[in-house]
Amino acid sequence: MNWTRKDLHALSVLSAEEINLVLDTAAEFKGVGQRRLKKFPSLRGKTLVNLFVEASTRTRTSFELAAVRLSADVVNISASASSLSKGESLKDTAKTLEALAADLIVLRHSAAGSAQFLAERLRAGVINAGDGSHEHPTQGLLDVFTIRERLGRVAGVKVGIVGDIRFSRVARSNLEALTKLGAEVILIGPSTLVPREFARSGARITHRLDDVLGELDVINLLRIQHERQRAGYFPGTGEYASFFGLNAARARRLKPGALVMHPGPINRGVELDGSVADGPQSVILDQVTNGLAVRMAVLYLCGSVPPPEDS
């Protein structure tokens, strides 16, 4: 199949075929890339702007390295260093970047829908690097890539996503990608942080991690943010860890081949014990490595689509 999108703002709009195309492309990049940091000429002469209106180190770095490996020129802009801090609108900032010949804009922003908002208004390609609580498409893709690589398939795999589902863009992108590729998704967490409405999108919901621990092929633990505690979603990280933390005792009840995943950064001792994070079932560092290949695939595919004709 052919890739026709200049943007990647959400996995919710992709077909299973499109998701597989990204994964296959990433696998090719990864296979070749293992022969010592090979650079590809695919995006030579193109400019990528990392527009990170919300702070991030790992995602920004991953996109930057991916772009460099594809021979693109990269500019990094953070909120504090941009005109956005002077009250310029997001649209005006992005239009200005486009006028400076940016071909791809990677956007991290606290407002859900902001990537789609820009994608609909710019000739440049827009890649969503996280929009509020909505989606983080490349994280969803790299998680599915890691599962496929390690387990050899995605269809039929049983994936538990544990934690702050309500506010998690990682959870939404994972849910979209996994269900489209035929995996079974179980959302696990406190009732205040796992809205019932997710059941309508095909996920199973439980508030008892111990009940499902032994059936999971993959357990993906999300970072618990302390501000949720202040807002009254749960009483404290200690209580959270006692019900939902993956400690050593719980890890022993996992299937032998089950994968332990985490998008990072980890709160060690809260959602995940250090010994498990560093243990044999953990694929957390694989996720980071695969993120590079997946982002190369996304930039390569979107960057190869010509901009739309002026209307």
Q: Residue 69 or 109: which CB sits closer to other proteins? A: 109
In the list 35, 36, 86, 200, the residue contacting other proteins (rule: CB under 8 A) is 200
Under the binding rule (CB under 8 A), the answer on residue 139 touching other proteins is no
* Residues whose CB falls within 8 Å of the CB of residue 184, separated by 6 or more in sequence, listed in order: 156, 157, 158, 159, 204
Residue from 178, 82, 193, 182 nearest 139 by CA: 178
Q: Residue 27 or 79: which CB sits closer to other proteins? A: 79
Alpha-carbon distances of 88 from 79, 83, 95, 210, 280, rounded to whole Å: 11, 6, 11, 49, 48
* Residue 15 near residue 180 (C-beta atoms within 8 A): yes
In the list 62, 114, 138, 281, the residue contacting other proteins (rule: CB under 8 A) is 114
- CA 157, CA 178: separation in Å to the nearest integer? 9
Active site residue 58: yes
In the list 156, 195, 235, 274, the residue contacting other proteins (rule: CB under 8 A) is 195
Under the binding rule (CB under 8 A), the answer on residue 134 touching other proteins is yes
Q: Residue 75 or 112: which CB sits closer to other proteins? A: 112
Which one of the spans 35-43, 106-114, 205-213, 253-261 is the region binding other proteins (CB under 8 A)?
106-114
Under the binding rule (CB under 8 A), the answer on residue 180 touching other proteins is no
Under the binding rule (CB under 8 A), the answer on residue 46 touching other proteins is no
| H/E run at residue 29 | helix 16-33
Active site residue 86: yes
- Give 197-213 as a DSSP string: GGGGGT-EEES-HHHHG
Under the binding rule (CB under 8 A), the answer on residue 112 touching other proteins is yes
Q: Strands of 98-235 (E only): list them.
A: 104-109, 125-131, 158-162, 184-188, 204-206, 218-221
- CA 5, CA 301: separation in Å to the nearest integer? 8
Q: Which of residues 156-175 bind other proteins (CB under 8 A)?
A: 166-167, 169, 172
- Minimum CB separation of residue 237 from other proteins in Å reads 23
| Interface with other proteins (CB under 8 A) | 12, 89-91, 109-114, 116-117, 131-135, 166-167, 169, 172, 195, 197-198, 200-201
Could you give the residue numbers annotated as active site?
Answer: 58-59, 86, 108, 136
